[in-house]
Structure 1
């Protein structure tokens, strides 16, 4: 594993943060003086919600560093809030003495920010209209005006696009990435694009990797699009006004990696969470809860010896499309890849309207060992008399690159923008009909947004997984390959990260 050093600017910021944001005091040592190999119940007993809550308060204070640029707390990559987050993580691990090898990995990333936008179709402002993530601005960051033009089929080939000079393209979702649709509209001369949902509900997504052909792009719901589709098919003209003031820029950001110095380095147990938030808010649940869980478990693990090495990772750029974890896996040599026996993803562990969710990672569709990890999670919930539910293993978080490169993976979560059903209310309590996290990707994802009961229990579960595999991998399937089957059939994935791309 290559070692890197934090940029000087980050170190200088860190010195300021260290005095302003004191580290949580915990019971630690460097190399343990006892010969006790980690045991699950013992490690779990060191997890206390008060320590987690103090860490969350510190993280929110760090998010406030983003206020000057974004007018509200945020930890989006490139912001002072994210630089402060990186420093907090790095400094916390560094103070643990000689137990971990601590490194960081810088990589290029693309970040976008929409400062202001509006869309008017005819005389109406569609209630569901939102700019796509990583959209460019309208020309000169000024409003543009033109008739709406309906694009044929799903807008996935050049032949679907007529001459769109000085027009706004209206394009159905489906079959190809949103970025492809925006680029094709731009090449056809469109001054902006509107992608509508071809399924029920609102639509939000990302254009993905920037292209010089992309145009300012909005998304709207199927219901909002329907009357305009009818008018255009009937030959009526729909005058349109679109405006987006946005930036899309390239930056460098950083993954932080901490690996135990003891334990078999050829058999590593790896777990990760993402250190960044969206631009819209401080991200104390998403993914402050996951990244702080890792920090607390790493802090308490130093009181034990391990048989297998344990590697903690804090990824940057998850919200922009799994950038940090993708990069990390892409530069692993085959030999280093095979040393990772499994990867566990922890993203959103404290949603206020929570469910205990387990990724339905089966061996039939994923690297062998994924199902054994899944069953360890479900056995834990069952042994505590708790219900759980399976959720799709569909590429929405940082496990994606690992399973695509043959590394068994899985994880748990407590829910994002999905709506809790009546059956789930019966299983977990809470409010049916509301999102699992009503503050998902919003300004209100603060300390007050955390369900402390779910967070403490899930942190104990993370400790259980670490202790189990750090102690022994004898019954865990051995790895044989760094590649896995293409279970998508060659089609692009609906998700690559938290935002829809298709």
Structure 2
């Protein structure tokens, strides 16, 4: 049977319906492989006749029109979830995400056999927050937000109790003395949101309200708890409101509170998609990635549809050239649940596979509407040797175009983490999420993790420049690694301390 996008969507929709049954999902995934037949495959002789990849030429093939067409397609794909979710989304487990995977596979496998395309199934936890609410002193906090991966309150109904100010940052058992039967009020920082919610549950709190320790809205996930560990339902509020209530509590006032969460948290099987050139030095792999999923709240056309689109378009145009070093494109699943797909991939590399990867480049959110050109501030002292060279590649590119750039913390917020922790040099760029633009004071992505993250939420000028920069990075290292530091032959996990270590403010 000839494989086409409609076929893939229908088959992957069936996988979505079977997502909680791993064996059924894998059986249907294998069924896709038997459907795919493409003619006109490129053989070794045809590839050897192609010109060596050239950065200037490859960049010139990246066009606004192609990016726009892919963004329209991805938004259409997100609409597969309308019936189940009531709005477009590409969250893992949804028909929109399975259709995204089908689209990625189809687009890569039709490129005349230039790539070896595989899928890597893994088990993940997904979360959908249907509704949430909280009150403090009979008022709903204005900055109230949900916490991804929060379990529901009992019977999905509100719980009521006295608000209890947790000591310090709520990261040790002693901080939760006397919280039983109360609602924990805990400051963000020092340990993960999930650790705080687990400790609150351990000592009998009815629920938890986490408030920010720095300006701005709080966003995050409780992550996947260890098996058998209880987790308190949790919501979040910003620093301004949090400090106000913390002050009242510290002065001895009694505040009544309530928390209500209606959610689903459970296991599913999902997949990473990996595409590697069928030529090039297999002992020197240039790797880059973006995540294929969105949050449940919206279609995720910027986060990280933009990265997915950029990689697909660069992968397509790269087929006009040959490379000296293998190039491996990765499309991670379950990033929004805590970087699960990329960490699973990195954790399961054999020592030999690990040492062949010379570098990993992360591309998450390329087109934020109020963008800044962000470069991860990596170095060769705290990070694997070569990370600083990646940073300088991006800086040099922006500088060559006369563009301002902003160094941002290399703090564990995206899919480079698993690679860095396993000794693989890493770096990347972004256009910004929830923080304010230093120049105009407006939030970089006003639709971050929201329903309005659609085609109207894209800065096309930044999208084009960043995708051309991705092409530049692939062309540079795909052609030669002569001046790039040699890998240190160790797969030991580095003793690194990340400020976030997980998706989007996991602390």
TM-score by length of 1: 0.89
SS of 1:166's equivalent in the other structure is coil
- Contact 2:8–2:99, Cα closer than 8 Å, also in 1: no
Aligned to 2:404: 387
Distance in structure 2 (CA, Å) of the matches to 1:56 and 1:15: 24
Residue range with higher mean Cα deviation, 306-315 or 456-465: 456-465
SS of 1:403's equivalent in the other structure is helix
SS of 1:456's equivalent in the other structure is helix
> Equivalences for 1:412-431 in 2 at 5 Å?
412-422=429-439
Aligned to 2:4: none
Listed as ranges, the gaps of 5+ residues in structure 2 are 1-6, 17-39
Equivalent of residue 286 in structure 1, options 300, 303, 319: 303
Distance in structure 1 (CA, Å) of the matches to 2:196 and 2:389: 40
How far off is 1:92 after superposition? 0.6
Aligned to 1:344: 361
- Contact 1:134–1:210, Cα closer than 8 Å, also in 2: no
Equivalent of residue 354 in structure 1, options 350, 371, 383: 371
Equivalent of residue 231 in structure 2, options 211, 214, 218: 214
Q: Given the alignment of the two structures, is residue 128 of structure 1 paired with residue 127 of structure 2, yes or no?
A: no
> Equivalences for 1:418-497 in 2 at 5 Å?
418-422=435-439, 432-483=440-491, 486=494, 488=496, 493-497=498-502
Q: Given the alignment of the two structures, is residue 370 of structure 1 paired with residue 417 of structure 2, yes or no?
A: no
Distance in structure 1 (CA, Å) of the matches to 2:58 and 2:348: 33
Distance in structure 2 (CA, Å) of the matches to 1:45 and 1:29: 25
SS of 2:181's equivalent in the other structure is coil
TM-score by length of 2: 0.89
Distance in structure 2 (CA, Å) of the matches to 1:213 and 1:65: 34
Aligned to 1:426: none
Residue range with higher mean Cα deviation, 291-300 or 35-44: 35-44
Q: Given the alignment of the two structures, is residue 101 of structure 1 paired with residue 113 of structure 2, yes or no?
A: no
Equivalent of residue 316 in structure 1, options 304, 311, 333: 333
How far off is 1:10 after superposition? 6.8
Q: Given the alignment of the two structures, is residue 30 of structure 1 paired with residue 42 of structure 2, yes or no?
A: yes
Listed as ranges, the gaps of 5+ residues in structure 1 are 1-7, 18-27, 423-431
Q: Given the alignment of the two structures, is residue 273 of structure 1 paired with residue 272 of structure 2, yes or no?
A: no
How far off is 1:147 after superposition? 1.7
SS of 2:132's equivalent in the other structure is strand
How far off is 1:372 after superposition? 1.5
Deviations 1:307-333, CA, capped at 9 Å, x for gaps: 111111100111111111100011111
How far off is 1:231 after superposition? 3.7
- How many correspondences in the alignment? 473
Aligned to 1:20: none
- Contact 1:133–1:207, Cα closer than 8 Å, also in 2: yes
Going from structure 1 to structure 2, the CA distance change for 1:14 and 1:250 (only over 3 Å counts) comes to closer
How far off is 1:61 after superposition? 0.2
Aligned to 2:506: 501
Aligned to 2:95: 80
Deviations 1:456-492, CA, capped at 9 Å, x for gaps: 111111111111111111111111233478464xx5x
Aligned to 1:429: none
Aligned to 1:398: 415
- Contact 1:156–1:175, Cα closer than 8 Å, also in 2: yes
Aligned to 1:141: 156
How far off is 1:383 after superposition? 1.9
Going from structure 1 to structure 2, the CA distance change for 1:454 and 1:235 (only over 3 Å counts) comes to closer
Distance in structure 2 (CA, Å) of the matches to 1:30 and 1:268: 20
Equivalent of residue 229 in structure 1, options 206, 230, 246: 246
Distance in structure 1 (CA, Å) of the matches to 2:242 and 2:403: 43
Deviations 1:216-244, CA, capped at 9 Å, x for gaps: 11222232233433443344332222211
Distance in structure 2 (CA, Å) of the matches to 1:285 and 1:320: 17
Deviations 1:303-356, CA, capped at 9 Å, x for gaps: 111111111110011111111110001111111111111111111111111111
> Equivalences for 1:240-255 in 2 at 5 Å?
240-255=257-272
- Contact 1:29–1:302, Cα closer than 8 Å, also in 2: no
How far off is 1:72 after superposition? 1.1
Distance in structure 1 (CA, Å) of the matches to 2:327 and 2:200: 48
Aligned to 1:22: none
How far off is 1:57 after superposition? 0.1
- Contact 1:403–1:484, Cα closer than 8 Å, also in 2: no
Going from structure 1 to structure 2, the CA distance change for 1:134 and 1:389 (only over 3 Å counts) comes to same
Q: Given the alignment of the two structures, is residue 189 of structure 1 paired with residue 204 of structure 2, yes or no?
A: yes
Distance in structure 2 (CA, Å) of the matches to 1:161 and 1:336: 44
> Equivalences for 1:48-63 in 2 at 5 Å?
48-63=63-78
Distance in structure 2 (CA, Å) of the matches to 1:198 and 1:290: 30
